[in-house]
Amino acid sequence: MLSDRRPILLTNARIVDPSRDMDFPGDLLIADGLIREAKRGIGAAGVPEGTEIVDCRGKVVAPGLTDIRAFVGEPGAEYRETLASASQAAAAGGVTTLVMRPDTTPVIDDPAMVDFVLRRARDTAIVHLHTMAALTKGLKGQEMTEFGLLKAAGALAFTDADHSVTNAQVMRRAMTYAHDFDALIVHHTEDPDLVGEGVMNEGEFAARLGLVGVPKAAETVMLERDVRLAALTGARYHAASITCAESLEVLHRAKDSGATVTAACSINHVTLNETAVGSYRTFCKVSPPLRAEDDRKALVAALASGLIDVLMSDHDPQDVETKRLPFAEAAPGAIGIETMLSAGLRLVHNKEIALTKLLAAMSTRPAELLGLPGGSLRPGSVADVIVLDLETPWVVDPDELKSKCKNTPFDEASLYGRVVRTIVGGRTVFEFV
Amino acid sequence: MNIAQKTSPDLSQRHLLGIEGLSRETITALLDRAEEFVATNRQIDKKQSQLRGRTQINLFFEASTRTQSSFELAGKRLGADVMNMSVSSSSIRKGETLIDTAITLNAMHPDILVVRHHASGAVELLARKVDCSVINAGDGAHEHPTQALLDALTIRRNKGPIENLTVTICGDITHSRVARSNILLLNTMGARVRVVAPSTLLPPGIEHMGVEVFRDMREGLRDADIVMMLRLQRERMSGSFVPSSQEYFHYFGLDRKKLDYAKPDALVMHPGPMNRGVEIESGVADGAQSLIREQVEMGVAVRMAVLEALSQNLPNA
């Protein structure tokens, strides 16, 4: 397949490389699946014969995104999403590397399953696709999985997806053992007992709607326990999705004390707040729930300062039948890979965060965290590159989304800016025309 | 949603989904009309014809005796054909039936659906899927608008204007749609609203809904004009929200001694069904200050007023 990878020259671009904190007008040359040069004035004369020359007309050229938390229904829930459809959606959203959750059916908790999805992905996906493996067998929170063998098979990290491990002893042992293999533990920090019947953020809005609230303490209690265990064991620990200002204090303290702790938040939690639930909009039911506006602002500030390392889609396709229900009975989850970057640009346009910082949290940092190539425009890096139009307004039409499910909280929303070209390993896999 | 207006171009005016959004004028107009129905309901010939030819379906996903019979009687007295449907939530997987049931019933061309459901927001969801008028007869812990209207009518008949009255609502606020609808209505009408409950039965954020919050019942009752008691579900009494019914009654049950903290002419209400000896002492429930039986009578009148108002917005009215 290497033969159809013609060199590509992206000219008249605004080159934004968050890995080097660079933002300058210039050109970028891609050949043999690698970035050759990124500088001012490469020009058509200095490129190999047969190079495809693309005039970017001032659009942004940036590293492709790495999305570290997405549900893909293959195997077991192909009606929700397949590796192929997820990768199409990813390409359309500028995501060149997708990391899937292990809560498939069956669960990805043994090496053969890792092997299976990676082979399926190689045959059907158009972006780089990786998987995490389960932290405990069957996601049951009781026995740890084979970290060594799973890692050798290609699992990037260990997580029980949207389940929290409530037994602190199990978590301690898992972290202790993971440390020996330098395995990364990714954990959903929500105490299920404190969540109880809760379905949205606890507070005035939940009280008015007559819905049971989820207190922020459900998150901070679990996060606090985890970071202390991380300090105790020396394990590499990553909080999968934090949502409130109080968690940032916990995180800040943990990082200051030298624990190897990182954290992500989802695009939903930095662009929406609890009021989006409005009159029982189930597309805005996510887990953990959307929080208050003050929390959203605090998360954005933490993203800008680097306290939160990664911004992810938390892509979770749910079909109509699990969403067209009374709010409390509807499944949580929102799709997000395709709209993640455009939604994130809202923050840039509102001057809440600089473009480089936003892109760093979606490309450079997640790639570093998982030890993946990409996330940089440095010469010699893998040619996972996006061309981004920052300005053009568009309205999200669920029918045009590539994902198999249409449960987007940005249904009919006006967004500014979108990915117009996605290049994976030097090959254009998506073009918006 | 202004249900009393004849012109109802948009969908929201077809339904009564909650007290939220109703204006003081609309509420007053409904209560005035209900007052007239109180008189006709006391006549020998109670039958009217405003809803003649109309089909009303009472769709109850949650068991109810008094609300369902009250709506049934209200519809029949206005001349509608009334059908009762009780959908047991255990027989079919919860929620799954809601949209399907709505679509099925809609195909039978009812004019008015009266719906009760155990999930907050479920009635609104159903209303979006049907062409007829929908009345919320209670959705989860969200709203129960006709209960608030009948409470308001009862108060008005005994105390005059609601404005500036002090109304204390006591009990399980967290799980109560009656409390929410009453808080909204009483605030709209200009009453001073207090809530009294142990903190485990108060939803966080309730203080932003225009109420004064008390944990000590005697303080909450001080100089109150109206004392509204709420039912405490049995499953919440034994350790999950309060330690026991004995302790609950000791601190939050309405007995003679506590009632003495309210104004001497204070009146006592309860939406029913009562747990005598848990949230209210029998002597108080049946005493001279109790309006509990009158509330039931007002229920039919208020529901007639609501049914009539909505029927005016139906096509071909």
Q: For residue range B83-141, what is the model confidence (pLDDT) as tens digits? A: 998 886 545 555 557 888 888 889 999 999 999 999 999 999 999 999 999 999 999 99
Identify whether A377 is part of a domain: no
* Residues A54, A88 within the same domain: no
Query: Which runs of E-coded beta strand occur in chain B?
Result: 55-60, 81-86, 112-117, 133-139, 166-170, 192-196, 212-214, 226-229, 267-269
Read off the amino acid at residue A40: R
Close Cβ partners of B313 (under 8 Å, ≥ 6 residues apart):
B3, B5, B6, B8, B13, B14, B133
Q: Is the pLDDT of residue A114 over 80?
A: yes
Cβ distance B180 to A208 less than 8 Å, yes or no, reads yes
What mean pLDDT comes out for the span B72-80? Answer: 98
Q: Domain for residue A2, yes or no? A: no
A375 is a domain residue? no
What share of chain A has pLDDT > 90, as a percent?
96
Tell me which of A317, A341, A370 is where a domain ends: A370
pLDDT of residue A365: 98
Average pLDDT over residues A115-133: 98
Q: Do A209 and B142 touch (CB under 8 A)?
A: yes
For A318-335, the pLDDT digits (tens) are 999 899 999 999 999 999
Q: Which of A344, A370, A396 is the endpoint of a domain?
A: A370
The yes-or-no verdict on residue A3 having pLDDT over 90 is no
Whether A57 and A72 share a structural domain: no
User: Which chain A residue has its CA at the smallest distance from B128's CA?
Assistant: A324
- pLDDT of B164 > 50? The answer is yes
Q: Is residue A142 part of a domain?
A: yes
CB contact under 8 A, A213 and B124: no
In a domain, A126, yes or no: yes
Residues A191 and A257 in one domain: yes
* Chain A residues with beta carbon closer than 8 angstroms to that of B206: 204, 207
Percent of chain A scoring above 70 in pLDDT = 99
Please choose, from the candidates B5, B76, B131, the residue with its C-alpha nearest in 3D space to the C-alpha of residue B303.
Answer: B76
Q: Domain end: A370, A390, A418, which one?
A: A370
As a whole number, mean pLDDT of residues A392-413 equals 96
- What per-residue confidence (pLDDT) applies to B92? 54
Q: Would you call A204 and B142 a contact, using CB atoms and an 8 Å cutoff? A: no
- Looking at the fold, whether A233 and A113 belong to one and the same domain comes out as yes
Q: How confident is the model at residue B1 (pLDDT cuts 50, 70, 90)?
A: very low
This model of the complex carries an ipTM of 0.89
| A97, A109: one domain | yes
Residues A22 and A70 grouped into a single domain: no
The CATH number of the domain where A41 resides is what?
2.30.40.10
For the beta sheet containing A310-312, the strands, ordered from the edge strand earlier in sequence to the opposite edge, are: A158-159, A184-187, A236-239, A261-266, A310-312
Mean pLDDT, residues B169-177 taken together = 96
A322: nearest CA partner in chain B: B96
Nearest CB neighbour to B120, from listed A202, A324, A327: A327
Per-residue pLDDT reduced to its tens digit, A127-142: 999 999 999 999 999 9
* Mean confidence (pLDDT) of chain A: 96
Q: Tokens for B35?
A: 């007052």
Give the pLDDT confidence of B243-270 residue by residue, as tens digits. Answer: 999 999 999 999 999 999 999 999 999 9
CATH, residue A232: 3.20.20.140
Q: In this structure, is residue A40 part of a structural domain? A: yes
Look at residue A1 and tell me if it is in a domain.
no
Residue from A387, A409, A392, A226 nearest A335 by CA: A409
**A394 with A330, same domain?**
no
Say if A268 falls within a structural domain. Answer: yes
Count of other CB atoms within 10 angstroms of residue A301: 16
Closest partner CB to A325 (pick from B20, B98, B141) = B98
How many structural domains is chain A composed of? 2
Could you read off the pLDDT of B7-64 as tens digits, one per residue?
322 334 689 999 999 999 999 999 999 999 999 999 999 999 999 999 999 999 988 8
Q: What is the pLDDT of residue B317?
A: 56
Do A161 and A253 belong together in one domain?
A: yes
Domain that holds residue A104: 64-370
pLDDT, one tens digit per residue, over A189-243 is 999 999 999 999 999 999 999 999 999 999 999 999 999 999 999 999 999 999 9
Look at residue B98 in the predicted model and tell me its pLDDT. 85
| Coil/strand/helix, residue B247 | helix
The pTM of the full predicted model, rounded to 2 decimals, is 0.93
- Determine contact: A328 vs chain B, CB below 8 A: yes
Residues A23 and A83 in one domain: no
Q: Is A314 one of the catalytic residues?
A: yes
* pLDDT value of position B89: 53
- Mean pLDDT, residues A24-36: 96
CA distance B176 to A83: 45
Instruction: Give the closest-approach CA distance of A241 to chain B in angstroms.
Output: 24
pLDDT for the residue numbered B2: 39
Interface of chain B toward chain A, CB-CB under 8 angstroms: 20, 94-96, 98-99, 117, 119-122, 124-125, 139-143, 177, 180, 203-206, 208-209
Same structural domain, A31 and A153: no
- Residue-wise pLDDT for B208-252, tens only, equals 999 999 999 999 999 999 999 999 987 777 778 999 999 999 999
Mark whether A92 and A46 lie in a shared domain. Answer: no
Tokens of B157: 């008949």
Residues A259-300 have pLDDT tens digits of 999 999 999 999 999 999 999 999 999 999 999 999 999 999
Strand pairing of A8-17 and A52-55?
parallel
Same-domain status, A174 and A35: no
The Cα of B176 is separated from the nearest Cα of chain A by a number of Å equal to 8
